[in-house]
Structure 1
Amino acid sequence: MGHREDLLQGAKRCLLEKGWTRTTARDIVAASGANLASIGYHYGSKDELMGQAYLALMEEWGQRVAALTKETGLPDDPVARRAAMWDAMLRGVGENPGFWQAQLEVISQLGHHEKLKDFFVKAMPMGWEGMLELFEDIPEGAASQELIDSVGWLYSALFAGMWVQHLISPDRTPSGAVIEESLRRIVEGKVARG
C-alpha cells in the first residue's frame, strides 16, 4: 500500500474509534504510518480525507449487506424482497454499531461545519441511488434522477430512522416483514384508530 491508501485506512480506523470531530490529523498519521504532509498532498485536507474514509466505510457496509443477501438469496416477490433487505440492513447495523454511532456524531456537527454539511449534501444522492440498487435491483447509473430523488430518498429516510432507533434499542426493532406490513397498512389507509 502507498501513502494514499495508508492514510485512507488510518482515517477509517480513526473514524470508527474516535469519531469525526475528535480525530486530528496527527491521529490519522499515527494510525497510518504516513507523514503529516502527505494528507495535504494526497487529499487536500484532513476533512476531505475523513470524507473519503466515510464514503469508503459506507460502500463497504453496502457490500456487506449485498453479500448477506446473496448468501441467503432474495425472494422474487417485491414485498418479500424488501422485507429481506430491511432485515439484512439492520443486521449490518448491528454488526458495526461503531460506524453508525460515528454517523450520529457527524450529523450532530452539520450545523457548525458548512464544509461538512456540503459534503453530505453532495454524498446523499449516491446513497439514495444505492438504496434503489439494494431494494429494487436497479443497477448503478440506470435509475432516473426523479426515481433517485423520490423512491431512493424515501428508502434512505426510512432507513435513517431505523438505524437510529436500532442503536437505541435493538430489541425493539421490528423485522423486515413487520416494516413492510406497516407500510402497506399506511398506504392502504388501514391504520385502525383507537
Structure 2
Amino acid sequence: MGNREALLAGAKTCLLEKGFDRTSARDIATTAGVSLAAIGYHFGSRENLLFQALFAILDEWGDLSGRVLVPPAEPGMTPAQAYERMWDELLAQVREHPRMWLASVELFMQAQRQPDLMPHLSDGIRQGRSGMAGILTSTPEADVEDRTARTLGMLQVALMSGVVIQMLADPEHPPTGADVVAGLRALGKIVQ
C-alpha cells in the first residue's frame, strides 16, 4: 500500500473513531504510518483528505446497505412483508456499523460549514432518492421517472434518515420493521 492509500485508510479510521472535527492531521499521519507532509503532497490539506475519506466511507455504507435493501424474492411473501424485512435488515446493519451512518450525518454538518461540499451532498441525495425509488419499484435506477424519485424516493430516504437517527439516539428502544410498516399504515389513514 502506498502513502496515498495509507493516508486514505488512516483518515477513514480516524473519522469513524473521532469524527471530522476531532481528527487532526497528525492523527491521520500516525494512524497511516506516514509523514505529516504526505497529507499536503497527496491531498493538499487535511480537509480534502477527510472529505475524500468521508465519501469513501459513504460509498462503503451504500454498498453495505444496498445489499439489504433489495427486497427478498421469497415465494408467498407479500410486498409489505418484504418491506418490513428490508427495514429489519437495514436496522441490523446500522446496529452493526453505527459509525458509518454517523459519517453521513457528519457530511451533512460539514456541508453546512463548507459550501463547496454542498453540490456533492446534493448529488448524493438525488442519487439516493433515485436508487431507493428503483429498489422499491423493482425498476433499474436509470429508468426511474423523476417524479417517482422525487416522491417515493424522497420519502424513503427521509424515513431511513429519521428512523436511523431515532435508533441511534435511543438504542434501548430501537424501532423495528414492523413499527415502520405500522406507522406508514397509520399515516396512510390520515392522508387518504
Instruction: Give the TM-score category using the shorter length.
Output: 0.7 to 0.9
Shift of 1:179: 0.9
Q: CA RMSD in A?
A: 3.0
CA pair 128-143 structure 1, distance change in 2 beyond 3 A = same
CA pair 28-144 structure 1, distance change in 2 beyond 3 A = farther
CA contact (8 A) 1:127 1:156 kept: yes
Letter in 2 for 1:49: L
CA contact (8 A) 2:69 2:135 kept: no
Shift of 1:40: 4.4
CA pair 118-27 structure 1, distance change in 2 beyond 3 A = farther
Shift of 1:31: 1.9
CA contact (8 A) 1:61 1:92 kept: no
CA pair 9-138 structure 1, distance change in 2 beyond 3 A = farther
Letter in 1 for 2:14: C
Shift of 1:69: 6.4
Which position in structure 2 is the counterpart of 1:147?
A: 148
* 21-30 vs 124-133, which moves further: 124-133
Shift of 1:159: 0.9
* 122-131 vs 60-69, which moves further: 60-69
CA contact (8 A) 1:128 1:152 kept: yes
Which position in structure 2 is the counterpart of 1:84?
A: 85
1:143-168 per-position Cα deviation (integer Å, ceiling 9, x unaligned): 23333332222111111111111011
Q: Normalised by the size of structure 1, how large is the TM-score? A: 0.78
Shift of 1:38: 4.2
Alignment of 1:112-191 (within 5 A): 112-189=113-190
CA contact (8 A) 1:74 1:84 kept: no
Secondary structure of the structure 1 residue equivalent to 2:142:
coil
Letter in 1 for 2:58: M
CA pair 78-5 structure 1, distance change in 2 beyond 3 A = farther
Q: Normalised by the size of structure 2, how large is the TM-score? A: 0.78
Whole-Å separation in 1 of the counterparts to 2:4 and 2:140: 29
CA pair 135-44 structure 1, distance change in 2 beyond 3 A = farther
The share of aligned pairs that are identical, in percent, is 36
Which position in structure 2 is the counterpart of 1:64?
A: 64
Instruction: Flag the structure with more relative contact order, 1 or 2, with Cα contacts below 8 A and sequence separation at least 6.
Output: 1
How many residues of Structure 1 are paired with residues of Structure 2 in the alignment? 190
Whole-Å separation in 1 of the counterparts to 2:174 and 2:80: 18
Whole-Å separation in 2 of the counterparts to 1:59 and 1:137: 22
CA pair 146-48 structure 1, distance change in 2 beyond 3 A = farther
Secondary structure of the structure 2 residue equivalent to 1:186:
helix
Structure 2: 5+ residue runs without aligned partners? none
